[in-house]
Amino acid sequence: MITTDFYKRLYTNSVPLRELLNNKETFTAMPIDWQVLVVDVKEPSVALENDLHNKVNLAATGSIVTVLNTLKSINKEIQIPYFFRGDGATFIVPDAVLGKVVAALETYGVHVSKNLNLKIHIGHIKVGDVYLKDTTLGIAKLKLNTYLVTSIIYGNGLKVAEQLIRDNFKEEMTILDRQLPIDLEGMECRWDEIFPSEEEKKVICLTVVCNNEKIQSEIYTKILDEIDYVFGDLSKRTPITTVKLKLDNSFHKMRTEMYARLGKFDRGYLIQNWMITYFGKYYFKFFKGGKDYLFRVTQLSDTIVMDGSINTIFSGTHRQMNQLKMLLDSLESDGKILYGIFATYASTMSCYIEDREENHIHFVDGTEGGYIKAAEHLKTKLIRKDDFWN
């Protein structure tokens, strides 16, 4: 049975996230003939030490753009779930298109090596093989606001798959005899660092894992309720606000995007996009269409990822963060969760723009390697509990 259209046909829920999490009947098992596909930047902590966190984010965003553009070239009707991490991305794709997607990512890996001086890992595993590990991989679509629909995962299946893939990563990627053309159309990174709405606030990156599927919904709901209570709901605690959104038209910013996207110097691209960015500042400030676009950017910013764990970025004070940590520490001491957290001064954003009306998505991370630092904090705990997912 061909299930290529499985995700497109999946019902879109318009309920609060906590309600979705507590109704397991809204989740559908991923088809056994789909594949979990992981792209990781190699040694991201080394890149951070060399002040390359923006390039790491670009490499992660570029992998998403590569996959989505490849799918569009195969069949525009195919839709898939995908999950951004600061140092990579995870996709779940139909087996029928896996070969072409992996080939495109192999070529993208060569591009990243040449132009961003980074290396990436690529690996995959069939969903049916994940189920053999006696784990759950349920998925639901959720409309978070008027513009943004996201994928919500229930169970440990995706995390187990990612670990199995990483345990079997090849040291070197296959270098194809004939490289495919790179298609990074729509990838942009023109926003300046985005500071919180108030001076005393920080940008907080949090990742939480609960390996007990029986209590996962209950625990995640409790944590999200506490975040809502302490920091405000998703719209109030977002680190991306229209007041703080500013374009960066510096030569360095334009040049980085140009090489990340084209892999070469192109004077016409540089001049054209510098002018668009320069005049865009005035468009956003003085024109209704520009102000409306800024609002859509805030709504289409990917600030919460539920992939079997909680990965979220928000703004708040140290006092608020310490209040949240009281609950997290209590749950962790009871053996119900492990978590990693990192606070920084601003957020960064890279984008995939299909069109500037409604088809754009903005991937948010913290400065100084926000999500990577939170993951490193978590990883130190996972090392001490190497059977956490078993």
Give the pLDDT of residue 129: 97
Q: How large is the average pLDDT for residues 56-79? A: 95
Q: Give me the residue label for tokens 């001491």.
A: 333
Most confident of 44-53, 75-84, 268-277: 75-84
Rounded to an integer, the average pLDDT of 34-47 is 91
For the segment 112-152, what is each residue's pLDDT rounded down to a tens digit?
Answer: 999 999 999 999 999 999 999 999 999 999 999 999 999 99
- Rounded mean pLDDT of 43-56? 82
Q: Give 41's pLDDT tier (boundaries 50, 70, 90).
A: very high
Give the span between the Cα atoms of 346 and 305, in whole angstroms.
19
Evaluate if residue 38 carries a pLDDT over 90.
Answer: yes
pLDDT in tens, 327-358: 999 999 999 999 999 999 999 999 998 877 76
Check if the beta carbon of residue 88 is closer than 8 Å to that of residue 60: yes
Examine the pLDDT at 369 and tell me if it is beyond 70: yes
pLDDT the model gives residue 241: 93
| Confidence check: pLDDT of 275 > 50 | yes
Contacts of 98 (CB under 8 A, 6+ apart): 35, 37, 124
The reported pLDDT for the residue numbered 389 is: 46
Token reading at 92: 């779940």
Segments in the chain forming alpha helices (H): 6-9, 17-21, 44-49, 53-74, 98-115, 127-131, 157-167, 216-231, 234-237, 251-262, 267-286, 288-299, 318-333, 370-384
pLDDT, mean of residues 351-366: 85
The most distant pair of C-alpha atoms in the chain lies apart, rounded to whole Å, by: 59
Confidence of residue 178 (pLDDT cuts 50, 70, 90): low
Higher pLDDT residue, 309 or 46?
309
Query: What DSSP element (H or E) covers 13?
Result: strand 12-13
172 has a pLDDT exceeding 60: no
pLDDT, averaged across the chain: 90
